[in-house]
Structure 1
Amino acid sequence: MTTLDRRKFLKVAGAGGAATAVAACDQPTAPAVHEAMPNLSWRMTSSFPKSLDTIYGAAETFARVVREMTDGRFQIQVFAGGEIVGGLQAADAVTDGTVEMAHTASYYYWGK
């Protein structure tokens, strides 16, 4: 696929995504669904230390946006690598049920 083909594909895909978003905004909201949503509190372990503020900060931003979008009903507490499990064990912690979410890179688990 050439660069021109990729650009054309991205334009079409972007236009389709925008149209879907606009169509979704026109749908009436269902307050009963919103009120029925339970309060959730999940823990997310990251593979990255807090000192990598750009990468680690993405997890904190994600948690903040989810909290705001759900009016505080879905809380995600982010833990840096090493606070709950080692950085290279983040996905394993989800598999084992230690935490509900992981913020990691898939290439850390290439051989699994």
Structure 2
Amino acid sequence: MDFKDAVRTCFNNYANFDGRAGRSEFWWWALFCLLGSLILGVVSHKLSAIFSLATLLPYLAVAARRLHDTDRSGWLQLVGLIPFVGWIILIYWLAQEGKSSSRYA
């Protein structure tokens, strides 16, 4: 999946927490969110904040689908609330290869 397809897919599945998302879909979306926030932050901090709020729900949805692809519950995103250690664990899970037979398919 390329950058354009990943962004389109994430906007089409804006609040869809069911199913699976591949590594490329998640990481292209994360790059889109980061670049959009950085570029809009140069223009205006308010625009950056609005963009971040607008992309928060699809970010959570694609992260949940990504965790489903690794046979984990989407609720495990809450581990990211633990400073530093939680972020490392969550990034490790999100970067893992997906399972071929997922219970979340």
Q: Give the TM-score of the pair, scaled to structure 1.
A: 0.23
Structure with greater strand share of residues: 1
Q: Which has the larger radius of gyration?
A: 1
* TM-score, with length taken from structure 2: 0.24
Q: Which structure features the higher share of helix residues? A: 2
